Structure 1
Amino acid sequence: MKRSFSIICSTTALMIVLMFAFVKESRNIPDPYQRELMLQQEASLQVGGRVELTAAEQQLDSHLHKLKEQEMLALDFPPAMHFFRARSHIEKSPVFKLLQKMPKGAVLHIHSSALVSVDWLVMNVTYRPHCYICFTWMGSVQFLFSAQRPFPTWGCSSWSLLEELRASTSDILTFDKSLMQNLTLFTEDPDVAYPNPDVVWERFEQIFIAISGLITYAPVFNDYLYEGLQQLYDDNILYLELRAGLSRTYELDGTIHDREWSLQTYKNITELFQLDHPDFIGLRIIITVHRVLRLSQVKQAVIDAIKMEKQYPEIIAGFDLVGREDGGKPLWYFREALSAPKELKTNFSYFFHAGETDSDGTDVDRNVLDALLLNTTRIGHGFALAHHPVVKELSRKRGVPVEVCPISNQVLKLVSDLRNHPAAVLMAEGHPMVLSSDDPTLFGTTGLSYDFYEAFVGIGGLSANLGTLKELAMNSIRYSSLPPVLKDRATAIWQQKWQKFIMENLP
């Protein structure tokens, strides 16, 4: 990493010399050779800029470039539109269809409560026996599986059996669509529905509560996890790191399972999936708690996570704080609690959400600095990183990548036109990064292809090429928490899939 950093510094120094020479000679006609050399230097700095492409890869790259040029000339350019309006356009895109086939490596930032398509949740889970629904006074819904009608609770004055509701309606299709609307942020007019970040985040958190009642039912939890792995695998993903709160699961008879049961289930279902899909590398969990908790609660959660990591080292990757950064306590507030690994003299990894904000200069904005001071392994979102040159350089020097989630950042109203996403600067500078999907259920997506499209066509623009895609996919394995042996195996499997992808998609 030191060597690569010195190369970047040397390249930057060369560019400065060239620019100085250009300015010095500005009275004369600019030298075309000098101009071309500077363009080449810039291209070499970007993500994928030093990836050497084979003849076959160059051929596919040329084809992709032409396709992208055509899409950028279209009247409705998807990255410039809100994703909810752009989705249908993206799905018709030849570039998107190619990206769906592309082996993407791993997804490293995705939440356990938003792992599968909303269609599966409604058409599969809500059709199961004993599923009750409550329409809350806040305009949201809650679900619960129960052998008998649940008692009223705060916000839920009455529960209805979904089976009976469906039997009483004359239009089941419309009824099911209304359920889907309660489990996703997707809407035809997002600007009206979500006029500001506060509104969209409130709805965002309501949906997580609604989904929780479905997926924490133990029989559903097993099927849900397998289906989540299948949907990622179908999108050509071979490994994932899942942020999970390890919520307690329940049975129809009222039995409550603890976190250890959940961990064992994650392990068992993953192994079962691998038997059916031998080229799937596996799953690791980043344990999470909400950032609204008290200092003492977070410290205990870290200590508990360290104990679980010792018991399940093959499946526990580390720890993170989740929830809206703008509405929660900053990382610096929790610095004492997060020092627990040092106190216990043990190595333990953090993967902090940091900088998922546009509030420049606030304590929340400084989470990107504090994440590095607390030795985070990766930076979740890092939207604010471009405003912090010292932190950005430290992140680069340490090789700490940013987990860029384009669609999430747009839907949660950090950026409207993805061509203006701060990651465009990071990508142009060759900053360490990976692409992720964050909460696909809530955004009406599955897998990672939609985010790859937005990053490749919108954030990267015409400068992004096949080398960019190749490096981003390789980064997802390189920056994962996998031990070296499994990284090597994942890389070998990915390379084989990549070569097949190239040869099958040549124009």
Structure 2
Amino acid sequence: MPDPGQREVLMREEASRQVGGAVRLTAAERRLDAHLHWLKKKEMAAAQFPPAMHFFKARALIQRSPIFKLLQKMPKGGVLHIHTSSLVSVDWLVKNVTYRPHCYICITWDNSVRFLFSSRQPFPRWDCLHWQLLGALRAKLGDPSDFDDGLIRNLTLFTEEPDVAYPSQDVVWEKFEKAFMVAAGLIAHAPVLKDYFYKGLEELHNDNIMYLELRSGVSRTYELDGTIHDKVFTLNMFQQVTRQFVRDHPDFLGARIIMAAHRALTLSDITSAVKEAIQMQRDFPDLVVGFDLVGREDGEKNIWYFKDALSLPAQIGVRLPYFFHAGETDDEGTEVDGNILDALLFNTTRIGHGFAMAHHPLAKEIARKNNVVLELCPISNQVLKLVSDLRNHPAAVLMSEGHPLVISSDDPSLFGSTGLSYDFYQAFVGIGGLKANLGTLKELAINSIRYSSLPSHLKESGLLVWQNKWNAFISSYSGQPHHKGTPTLS
């Protein structure tokens, strides 16, 4: 018969290897951890278990969860993977922005919508032959509630019957990319973008997030008279708004931008985008931190296709950090599946999604050796039909092995979520299962600052601010006094 003592040693050894397994918890933290464990067992035994359901159907259940409510109050560090066009809740775009003067709308040939702010009747174009002033249109409707709900449906993927509306990845991705086009005319209006970005920081801050790294194509913005501003204008605006937000909220660490280009572009286009990112990083060294390729990986060119463009910084002796989307696929063995190894070949700083990482033992080994963290976006992976039951997400393997992870939200406004609390819930309750504990949550939050692009001295000060917030959070549940200091993982 095996030795019971040896079995206990094996159990402890395995538990110590998971994400958060080496985190030493205080007495107050252990009490909260025991309470969380009890709550999680209760939710896992319920007839409807949210991580096993599509998020669109589970959202209301999650909102009622005591674990979710606790996670909303938890200081989560930073969000390192989120896109500009989905930073702010769709309700605000419709109920605030589309009610502003000079906002025009048109219905396209495929029953989508486009928006444009203009001081005069906009000219027809190929996809928009007839523009209508939104204010005048609403005046004819009486109660505009149903109309506004229709606008919201154009700006989000959310639906009551997701499996019927999106029977395949192709269908959901078509709606996904179309929603970005719908939002573009609103967000790219210069006065709107300024308010939009501040509102986005506010929504993150309200979810107890203290730092942002934004994937952005840095769109050219426009004025009512048709004036088009260049990308330098947009970056200056981001910088000014960030500084104002930090003045208004001194506990917020700031925001930085990862410039992005769509992988559907040509090699020549990507070469130009890389050169532009190099120049913008020189001009805005405290704002622009690197470069990424965005868009659906399946069916598009892989990272290696753009090798000449991506090799350019090294050839001219410039360091341009990469933050590649890679492995956002379930097509194992295809060329796209090789994106994770290609991303590592180009010394990516982080890997966005990495859904396929668990199938690449060498990539896991290299990533861990080089401290390349994986940006886990659970809700995005489920909504875009890579996995249906989040208990089966391949990141469960990575979490149990202690692979470096951060939790991110990708495109929250398109999924009907905000901030990070929903994704933390899905990762903690669904992917992590009963093994994930308060140490897991603590390490994931710390990782979001540790693996950010902040310089070392700002990481240190940021971790101190976060630790004090964490201590206050623990104290609010335990009645224990606050203690100052920096977080430890050993």
Instruction: Name the TM-score, length of structure 1 as normaliser.
Output: 0.94
Which residue pairs with 1:158 in the alignment?
A: 130
Cα distance in 1, alignment partners of residues 110 and 174 from structure 2: 11
What amino acid is the match of 1:213? G
Q: How far has the Cα of 1:398 moved from its partner?
A: 0.9
What amino acid is the match of 2:62? I
Note if 1:345 corresponds to 2:317. Answer: yes
Alignment deviations for residues 51-76 of structure 1 (CA, whole Å, 9 cap, x no partner):
00000000000011111111001111
Which residue pairs with 1:259 in the alignment?
A: 231
Note if 1:450 corresponds to 2:422. Answer: yes
Partner secondary structure for residue 336 of structure 2: coil
Which residue pairs with 1:85 in the alignment?
A: 57
Which residue pairs with 1:100 in the alignment?
A: 72
Partner secondary structure for residue 269 of structure 2: helix
Note if 1:390 corresponds to 2:362. Answer: yes
Which residue pairs with 1:125 in the alignment?
A: 97
Cα distance in 2, alignment partners of residues 458 and 275 from structure 1: 38
Which residue pairs with 2:484 in the alignment?
A: none
Note if 1:364 corresponds to 2:336. Answer: yes
**Where in structure 1 are there 5+ consecutive unaligned residues?**
1-28
Note if 1:354 corresponds to 2:326. Answer: yes
What amino acid is the match of 1:111? H
Note if 1:468 corresponds to 2:440. Answer: yes
More displaced stretch, 139-148 vs 407-416 = 139-148
Partner secondary structure for residue 321 of structure 1: strand
What amino acid is the match of 2:194? N
Q: How far has the Cα of 1:429 moved from its partner?
A: 0.1
Which residue pairs with 2:118 in the alignment?
A: 146
Cα root mean square deviation, aligned: 0.8
What amino acid is the match of 2:303? L
Match for residue 17 of structure 2 among 28, 40, 45 = 45
Cα distance in 2, alignment partners of residues 421 and 252 from structure 1: 46
Cα distance in 2, alignment partners of residues 159 and 300 from structure 1: 34
Q: How far has the Cα of 1:490 moved from its partner?
A: 0.8
Cα distance in 1, alignment partners of residues 282 and 438 from structure 2: 40
**Where in structure 2 are there 5+ consecutive unaligned residues?**
480-490
Which residue pairs with 2:292 in the alignment?
A: 320
Partner secondary structure for residue 22 of structure 2: coil
Q: How far has the Cα of 1:139 moved from its partner?
A: 2.1
Which residue pairs with 2:48 in the alignment?
A: 76
Matches within 5 A, 1:157-236: 157-236=129-208
Which residue pairs with 1:434 in the alignment?
A: 406
Which residue pairs with 1:18 in the alignment?
A: none
Partner secondary structure for residue 365 of structure 1: helix
Cα distance in 1, alignment partners of residues 421 and 299 from structure 2: 30
Matches within 5 A, 1:7-18: none
Cα distance in 1, alignment partners of residues 143 and 238 from structure 2: 38
Partner secondary structure for residue 49 of structure 1: coil
Cα distance in 1, alignment partners of residues 137 and 37 from structure 2: 51
Note if 1:331 corresponds to 2:303. Answer: yes
Report % sequence identity.
65
Which residue pairs with 1:8 in the alignment?
A: none
What amino acid is the match of 2:116? L
Partner secondary structure for residue 425 of structure 2: helix
Matches within 5 A, 1:280-319: 280-319=252-291
Partner secondary structure for residue 336 of structure 1: helix
Note if 1:408 corresponds to 2:380. Answer: yes
Q: How far has the Cα of 1:157 moved from its partner?
A: 2.1
Cα distance in 2, alignment partners of residues 389 and 261 from structure 1: 44
Cα distance in 1, alignment partners of residues 79 and 304 from structure 2: 28
Q: How many residues were matched structurally? A: 479
More displaced stretch, 74-83 vs 156-165 = 156-165
Runs of 4+, deviation exceeding 2 Å:
none
Partner secondary structure for residue 249 of structure 1: coil
Alignment deviations for residues 402-443 of structure 1 (CA, whole Å, 9 cap, x no partner):
000000000000000000001100000000110000001100
Alignment deviations for residues 133-184 of structure 1 (CA, whole Å, 9 cap, x no partner):
1111112111111112212212222111111121111332222111111110
What amino acid is the match of 1:349? P
Q: How far has the Cα of 1:116 moved from its partner?
A: 0.5
Which residue pairs with 1:6 in the alignment?
A: none
Note if 1:492 corresponds to 2:445. Answer: no
Partner secondary structure for residue 468 of structure 1: helix
More displaced stretch, 483-492 vs 152-161 = 152-161
